Chain A
Amino acid sequence: MPDVKYYDLRHVTGQVTHIDIDNGIVESAGTSFFNKAVLRVLDRTGWGIIQIDNFTPCTGRKFEDLIQSARKLAGITEEIVELGEVPHGILPVPPLKEDPRAVSIEEKSALLAEIEEAARHPLVTNRRANYVERIEQVRFTDSSANEYSYEMCRSGFNVLAVASQNGNVQMGFEREHSIHGFDLRHRQDAGKSAAEIAVSLLDAGAVKGGKMRAVLDPELAGVFAHEAVGHASEGDLISEGNSVLKGRTGEKIASEILTIVDDPALSEFGFDPVDAEGTKVLRTEIISRGVVNAFLHTRESLAAVGNGIAGHARAMPGEPPLVRMSNTFIENGDAKKAEIFEECKNGIFLAGSRGGQVDPGRGIFQFNAEYGYLVEKGECTKMIRDVSLSGEILSTLHRITLCGNDRKMSPGYCGKGGQSVPVSDGAPHVLLLDAVVGGSGLD
């Protein structure tokens, strides 16, 4: 056994199959392969990390040499890194309803073409559909003899429709990605919906920026939870002093109806059977009934910060783990959707997401809706486009005053430190008072 305080090795092999159909043309389709490993060693001070492409598992002298190279590298580090005690264990990976590997790529391509074709419309100038299927075999070992191996398959599609009229160009977008297996059959509705959104947006107006009441749909409210709360609760940012949530455990920062959770054990797109450093994954209530309850941690940030739960280490193949979200959501409340619109009275309804970003140290976030409607007397009226919201974490959360009972999760990817990992976000419909809306509309 190598003579170091700690090591772990995460080796991931796999393949990615993709199909890209653009205006009826199969632009590309096929399979690529990868093999990547990352070895982390901790001895007297900080981490020595070796990233290896095309890794061949090894033992004995050869493995010992790798450990010693990483240890030598760690010689330039100064910080003394401690690791928290954590539970270990692995969850079963949910079974695939239909294994994509059992479907020929010709059939996949034909099914994707049906979805792309469904986006056809006289005003749609471009239809594009992509299929992605990623299969990873993960093997993890560490110096405490923890060993895990599992296989994950994630697959799904995106469909984009671009509509043009008199120099006005708008887009509609639908996506469906899942850990539950092949999902291209009978999905023409997605293509149709993308086209309808794109075409409707040609007549949508621009909103005039300012403060107003906003109803957020489950997808957008999920992105809000991810950007406004999720990132700021990541233990590495807390320990660096780069989050406005630092030192606020037990503090009430939101109204009592708001509970925000990150749960890597949930069978959604961000599911991990075990985290990237072998820790058992657990549901973590970041905000409990308005109160800061628990931060998301790796073993390192747990030891440095406390006040939270480890099992949130995630990594791309061959990359060192970082504290990351997985499945992040606002818990259901008890309001009905109709009540939320009634309470909004006059404002805007925002739906879908083009993503968001946060500066956790400054406590400011921004996110963007795919489309929306003006709300007048509790009813959706004129369609609006290109609406962004920005806000301050510590004041905005108090302004969520109603949560619906219709939570829905949406798949996506989240970027941090140059790594992109699969996540899902979700929420019920929520009402946000005093939303700061950015739009280019005039009085």
Chain B
Amino acid sequence: MSSFSTRWWVAVDWIEEVIREGRRSVDELEVFYVEGTSVSADLKRKNVNLATTSRECGLGIRTIHNGRIGSSSTNDPGTWRDCLAAAIASGKLATAQTWSGLPDPVSLPASPLSFDPALECDPGLARDLLGQMLEGAAEHPAEITAGSASLSISSETLANSHGIRYRDHYTGVSLSLEAIERQSTGYEFDHASSLKDVDPRNVGEKAAFFACKSADGKDIPTGDYPVVLSPLAYAELLGNVFVPALNGRSVHSGRSRLAQSLGETIADPRITMYDDPLLPRASGSTWWDAEGTPTRRIDFVRDGVLRTFAYDLKTAYRYDKKTTGSAVRGGFGGLPAIGHHNFIVDGERENILDERVIYIHNVVGAHTANPMSGDFSVEISNAFWMEDGGFEEPVRSAMMSGNVFDLHKDIAGMSRETRAVGSLILPSIRLNEQRIIGK
């Protein structure tokens, strides 16, 4: 780790200067600096077509003066003076609000939660991962159309005028493969912070399996069917509609259907939903949130009852709440906003495939769901009649309609297996009467 500590002092030097300079004009300020490298290799059919390396950096500055919050960002840290000036100017435009200060430093563990010291941004390793995916895919006769393997290492530094000086390191590996068999496609992916947590052969095997197994599907008539949504299909609906409705800012500004539902049963009583930022090796894990608030588990839904919403400092101060440590940053140099770290759906698990059901592996178009009302109608993909856990006849094409909020009351069971889909960690769920529109 010696290289990191050297760079820390280099980084700290100019960041201290930003804070000193900023303090001459504003009450408080926060400096966020991220830098990283990544390497990726992409397949075109079965051959490696391109290899990429990237060096990324981003600086975000936030200023607070008389309750007015200003911000700016740049990926040229050499021009931090311009960025600081832009942040201060931006603060003059913002509406003043109640503000009770940036966090003070606390002692946090130094060991990174989401970091694999063995992971290197080595192009040869990316190529080998592609090779393993192709080996897995060879178990089925589908054609490979595209694939990608990427490796990344990054570090984030957060400093503020109250003395916070936090730094953490992250690694990531992500894999994907696309396959086709006649007019039937299959897609699979995997991602983790550690190399030992991904299974490239399985990614390849599953992509090719779904392409082959979905060929020669049959149509089904419109009706209400028992279905199982895979973690992937469930994540599409949950992530586009349900999770944003837990955002405290949306709740207080009238953009959430859950706004009036605190203390009410909004899901089957067996269901618990929480954010666990401290889960070792999960991709969203972190000791501190994007504003330097120490993170902790947040129970949004316990036994089906809605318990809390997610807050950052700004929203919490404005509405007289406490921050839940839910501030995250979008991308390099992004500014803090309310989000989640590792959003988990949990509860009583069982075998949900013991009766005949339609298993839906993925959906097309979930981002077009109505984020306010929760109504959706999406195309289903890689759907099958399933019996005793075995994939039987594929369904050729159909739509699925419903309401993302209401369906949580109708969840009839959760699978024992869970899967990470981005920052959502989910089981498969069973719905006993789901509207399917045939063609």
Q: Which residues of A contact B (CB under 8 A)?
A: 19, 22-36, 46-54, 69, 73-79, 81, 105-106, 109, 125-126, 128, 162, 164, 167-171, 206, 209-211, 236-237, 239-242, 244, 318, 320, 354-359, 361-368, 385-388, 390, 392, 436-440
Contacts and interface: CB of A to CB of B under 8 A. Distances in A.
19 contacts: A27-B94, A33-B76, A33-B82, A47-B52, A50-B52, A53-B54, A73-B39, A77-B47, A209-B401, A210-B437, A239-B44, A240-B44, A354-B370, A361-B185, A366-B379, A368-B365, A368-B377, A438-B400, A438-B401
B336 to A, nearest CB: 11
Interface stretch (B120-128, B196-204, B283-291, B303-311): B120-128
Given A76-B41, A169-B257, A366-B365, A242 B49 contact: no
Given A73-B123, A392-B397, A386 B370 contact: yes
Contact of B48 (A46, A50, A318, A354): A46
B439 A73 contact: no
Contacts of A363: 183
Given A33-B72, A76-B41, A367-B368, A46 B93 contact: no
A35 B253 contact: no
B47 to A, nearest CB: 4
Given A30-B71, A367-B368, A105 B378 contact: no
A42 to B, nearest CB: 9
B45 interface: yes
Interface of B: 39, 41, 44-45, 47-58, 69-79, 82-83, 86-87, 89-91, 93-95, 97, 123-124, 126-127, 143, 145-146, 178, 180, 183-185, 222, 249, 253-255, 257, 260, 332-333, 335, 364-365, 367-373, 375-379, 381, 397, 399-403, 435, 437, 439
* 10 shortest interchain CB distances as A-B pairs: A30-B90, A438-B377, A125-B254, A368-B368, A366-B365, A51-B54, A126-B254, A438-B399, A47-B50, A209-B437
Nearest to A23: B253
Contacts of B145: 237, 240-242, 361
B124 A76 contact: yes
Contacts of B376: 386, 388
A244 to B, nearest CB: 6
A364 B435 CA distance: 20
Contacts of B180: 241-242, 361
Contact of A440 (B73, B91, B97, B377): B377
Nearest to B73: A32
Contacts of B51: 46-49, 73-74, 76-77
Contacts of A239: 44
Given A51-B55, A361-B183, 14 more contacts: A23-B253, A30-B86, A51-B54, A51-B56, A77-B50, A81-B49, A209-B399, A209-B437, A210-B437, A242-B185, A366-B379, A366-B399, A368-B368, A390-B399
Given A48-B51, A53-B332, A26 B94 contact: yes
B365 A36 contact: no
Contacts of A365: 364, 379
B53 A73 contact: yes
A135 to B, nearest CB: 14
B47 A169 contact: no
Contacts of B379: 357, 359, 364-366, 390, 438
A168 B87 contact: no
B368 A53 contact: no
Contacts of B83: 32-33
A73 B45 CA distance: 20
Contacts of A73: 39, 51-53, 123
Contacts of B249: 22
Say whether chain A's binding surface is mostly helix, strand, loop, or mixed: strand
A35 B75 contact: yes
A354 B381 contact: no
Nearest to A169: B372
A368 B373 CA distance: 14
A440 B127 CA distance: 46
Contacts of B370: 170-171, 354, 385-386
A125, A241, A437: residue with the most chain B Cβ atoms closer than 10 Å: A241
B123 A54 contact: no
A318 B52 CA distance: 12
A366 B400 CA distance: 11
A79 B49 CA distance: 5
A436 B399 contact: yes
B56 A53 contact: yes
B262 to A, nearest CB: 14
B253 A356 contact: no
A316 to B, nearest CB: 11
A357 B365 contact: yes
A169 B95 CA distance: 27
Contacts of A46: 47-51
B86 A209 contact: no
B52 A359 contact: no
Nearest to B126: A76
A162 B255 contact: yes
Contacts of A354: 368, 370
Nearest to A198: B372
Contacts of A361: 145, 178, 180, 183, 185
A438 B437 contact: yes
Contact of A53 (B50, B55, B402): B55
Contact of A77 (B48, B332, B403): B48
Contacts of A81: 49
B99 to A, nearest CB: 13
In the complex, which of the residues B126, B372, B378, B439 has the most CB atoms of chain A within 10 Å of its own CB atom? B372
A22 B401 CA distance: 31
B71 A388 contact: no
Contacts of B97: 25
Given A53-B75, A362-B183, A241 B45 contact: yes
B225 to A, nearest CB: 13
Contact of B381 (A23, A49, A240, A359): A359
A207 to B, nearest CB: 9
A128 to B, nearest CB: 8
B76 A77 contact: no
A171 B244 CA distance: 15
Contacts of A237: 145
Given A162-B255, A209-B222, A386-B377, A320 B52 contact: yes
B93 A29 contact: yes
Contact of B375 (A77, A210, A386, A390): A386
B49 A356 contact: no
Q: Most chain-B Cβ atoms within 10 A of its Cβ — which of A109, A162, A437?
A: A162
B400 to A, nearest CB: 8
A32 B86 contact: yes
A26 B56 contact: no
Contact of B253 (A22, A52, A169, A362): A22
